[in-house]
Amino acid sequence: MEQKELLRKLPSVDEVLKSPHGLKWLKSYPRKYILRAIRDIIAFKRGEVLEGFTPDVNLNAISGNIEIKIKKLIERRLKPVINATGVVIHTNLGRAPLPPEVLNNIMDVAMGYSNLEYNIKEGRRGERYDHIRWILKDITGAEDAVVVNNNTAAVLLCLSAIAKGREVIVSRGELIEIGGAFRIPDVMLQSGALLKEVGTTNKTNSGDYEDAVGEQTALLLKVHQSNYKVIGFTEDVSVGELVRLGKRKEVPVMFDLGSGCFTDLRPYGIYDEPVVHEVVGKGVDIVTFSGDKLLGGPQAGIIVGRKKLIERIAKHPLTRAVRIDKLTLAALEATLLCHADPEKAREKIPVLKTLLQGDEVIKRRARKIQLLIKRDVRNALVSIEKDESQAGGGSLPGVYLPTYVVRLKVEGMSALLVEQRLRRGAAIAVITRIRAGSVIIDARTIRDSEVKPLLKAIKEAIC
Ligand SMILES: *Cc1c(COP(=O)(O)O)cnc(C)c1O
């Protein structure tokens, strides 16, 4: 067929829109994106013709292309992925997966109206934070609690409310940066508090703090070294010592715990992670931590401590700017209820379950993945190896969790290409890592229900 003839045959936007396909699309897709897709595909076909190709330009043929284009345009950008990295609290992959109890509670509360800020008993305005105050007090032993958007906001708010224009004493060994631009000195600057560094990178002692306390001191701040460890010739001041010093000097002590763990991990051989109620029990005046790290709940910044200080913090104008919404509140309440029983929490909360699962369970899952790949993917070489996974997300630095990984090599394909194809999979993205020319699939962070989709993704990526 001649070029002119083909161009003449190419349907107009209007023709496509009024065709049975067009009318069907209008029922389910936004008109704007239907039009964009039609224009794009027609322009593409016209381009092909002008370049001398002879594409099929009848309406039925191009409708298929248009429908694919529409679906691509309105495809979800935020979507589930399979985390095969072994990093349990992966900040880039959404930190804590939530348990069904939590999701059900979100649905229940968010589908309709709720008593978010309404006191049902008295029939008047209520307080947003009342719903979780009691259980936070119960679990942590603190006098009072308030919750904001994330732990960064919690720290900023506490410093603003307690120490604006005055000095905060921090050890040089604790002037940390957490991935994603949380730096203690920067947060301090934003709050208007003045940072007074004491000690050195590897050693700070109680005398260093004591010498620094003066008229202008508003707070002694301790920060959990969430994502690194200083090893060797080191010394830091214990929580207990800092509390004693604070009492003597009448200066409040704040501890930014970062992760905020409710579960005693010592029976699992993890000794360095402070448990929130123990820290509170030692007399720290203000404790802050995240909702979506070891707590395994939604993104939130939890502040617990002395009633007088919490009241001051809650009244600060910044609290309104960083307040949590009803979805978070519903999720957090359900998460906290799961934590009310530590034994059950270990089973119910995915972060804890994934961290604390026995290596036999992980090995069995790895075997299953290996067998399925062996059975279904001919050009794959798979083996199982002992390895170590990490907690991640600024939690449990230096703690390596024994795991089993599936090492995958594909004949005629580089590891880089396999990793990329898995990541860009059409059905679901699988996030893996590469080591020594192989793709490494850590069985720790793969849910049993994800084994089948994982295999399907591997088949699609390789075959
Ligand atoms: C993670 C972390 C933060 C930041 O918490 P977000 O909830 O991510 O804002 C602050 N301080 C410490 C010590 C942390 O580990």
Residue of minimum CA distance from atom 8 in ligand 1: 151
Residue 230 has pLDDT above 90, yes or no: no
Residue 1: its pLDDT value, please? 60
Residue 374: its pLDDT value, please? 96
pLDDT per residue over 284-311, tens digit each? 999 999 999 999 999 999 999 999 999 9
Residue 400: its pLDDT value, please? 84
Note whether 252 and 193 are within 8 A (CB): no
Q: Are residues 323 and 414 in the same domain?
A: no
Q: How far does CA 142 lie from the centroid of its chain?
A: 26
The model carries a pTM of: 0.93
Residue 134 has pLDDT above 80, yes or no: yes
Q: Are residues 148 and 281 in the same domain?
A: yes
Residue 53: its pLDDT value, please? 94
Question: What value does the mean pLDDT take over residues 394-410?
Answer: 89
Q: Can you tell me which atom of ligand 1 is nearest the CA of 300?
A: 7
- Distance, in Å, from the CA atom of 225 to the CA atom of 220, rounded to the nearest integer, reads 16
Taking CA atoms, 236 is separated from 266, 407, 414, in Å, by: 21, 41, 47
Residue 210: its pLDDT value, please? 94
pLDDT per residue over 77-102, tens digit each? 999 999 999 999 999 999 999 999 99
- Secondary structure (H, E, C), the chain: CCHHHHHHHCCCHHHHHHCHHHHHHHHHCCHHHHHHHHHHHHHHHHHHHHCCCCCCCCHHHHHHHHHHHHHHHCCCCCCCEEECCCCCCCHHHCCCCCCHHHHHHHHHHHCCCCCCCEECCCCEECCCCHHHHHHHHHHHCCCEEEEECCHHHHHHHHHHHHHCCCEEEEEHHHCCEECCCEEHHHHHHHHCCEEEEECCCCECCHHHHHHHCCCCEEEEEEECCCCCCCCCCCECCCHHHHHHHHHHHCCCEEEEEECCECCCCHHHCCCCCCEHHHHHHCCCCEEEEECCCCCCCCCCEEEEECHHHHHHHHHCHHHHHCECCHHHHHHHHHHHHHHCCHHHHHHHCHHHHHHHCCHHHHHHHHHHHHHHHHHHCCCEEEEEEEEEEEEECCEEEEEEEEEEEEEEEECCECHHHHHHHHHCCCCCEEECEEECCEEEEEHHHCCHHHHHHHHHHHHHHHC
Ligand 1 binding pocket includes 256 (Cβ within 6 Å):
yes
Q: Distance from the CA of 178 to the center of ligand 1, in angstroms?
A: 6
Residue of minimum CA distance from atom 13 in ligand 1: 258
Q: Are residues 367 and 440 in the same domain?
A: yes
Residue 358 has pLDDT above 80, yes or no: yes
Last residue of a domain, one of 310, 326, 348: 348
Residue 434: its pLDDT value, please? 97
Residue 228: its pLDDT value, please? 67
Indicate which CATH number applies to the domain containing 214: 3.40.640.10
Tokens of 444: 């720790």
Q: Are residues 272 and 327 in the same domain?
A: yes
Ligand 1 binding pocket includes 152 (Cβ within 6 Å):
yes
Ligand 1 binding pocket includes 171 (Cβ within 6 Å):
no
Indicate the residue type of 289: F
The range of the structural domain enclosing residue 417 comes to 81-91+354-462
Question: Which stretch of 137-141, 196-200, 270-274, 375-379 has the lowest confidence by average pLDDT?
Answer: 270-274
Indicate which CATH number applies to the domain containing 384: 3.90.1150.180
Q: Are residues 337 and 193 in the same domain?
A: yes
Question: What value does the mean pLDDT take over residues 122-137?
Answer: 97
Question: What value does the mean pLDDT take over residues 344-369?
Answer: 96
Q: Are residues 224 and 335 in the same domain?
A: yes
Q: Are residues 294 and 425 in the same domain?
A: no
The residue among 292, 302, 378, 335 whose CA lies nearest residue 145 is 302
pLDDT per residue over 437-452, tens digit each? 999 999 999 999 999 9
Indicate the residue type of 268: Y
Residue 249: its pLDDT value, please? 97
Question: Which stretch of 51-65, 118-132, 160-174, 175-189 has the lowest confidence by average pLDDT?
Answer: 175-189
Note whether 391 and 269 are within 8 A (CB): no
Q: Are residues 11 and 149 in the same domain?
A: no
Last residue of a domain, one of 348, 378, 400: 348
pLDDT per residue over 238-280, tens digit each? 999 999 999 999 999 999 999 999 999 999 888 888 999 999 9
Can you tell me which residue has the tokens 């594909």?
410
pLDDT range class, residue 232, cuts 50, 70, 90? confident
Residue 269: its pLDDT value, please? 85
Taking CA atoms, 191 is separated from 159, 166, 318, in Å, by: 6, 10, 10
Mean pLDDT (the chain) is 94
Residue 338: its pLDDT value, please? 97
pLDDT range class, residue 180, cuts 50, 70, 90? low
Question: What value does the mean pLDDT take over residues 25-36?
Answer: 97
Indicate which CATH number applies to the domain containing 65: 3.90.1150.110
Q: Can you tell me which atom of ligand 1 is nearest the CA of 180?
A: 8
Q: Are residues 65 and 85 in the same domain?
A: no
Residue 319: its pLDDT value, please? 96
Q: Can you tell me which atom of ligand 1 is nearest the CA of 259?
A: 15
Note whether 154 and 303 are within 8 A (CB): yes
Q: Are residues 191 and 327 in the same domain?
A: yes
Count up the domains in the chain and report the number.
3
Residue 314 has pLDDT above 90, yes or no: yes
Q: Are residues 62 and 107 in the same domain?
A: no
Residue 227: its pLDDT value, please? 67
Residue 176: its pLDDT value, please? 78
Q: Can you tell me which atom of ligand 1 is nearest the CA of 290?
A: 7
Last residue of a domain, one of 285, 314, 348: 348
Q: Distance from the CA of 290 to the center of ligand 1, in angstroms?
A: 6
Question: Which stretch of 59-63, 133-137, 270-274, 295-299 has the lowest confidence by average pLDDT?
Answer: 270-274
Q: Are residues 294 and 308 in the same domain?
A: yes
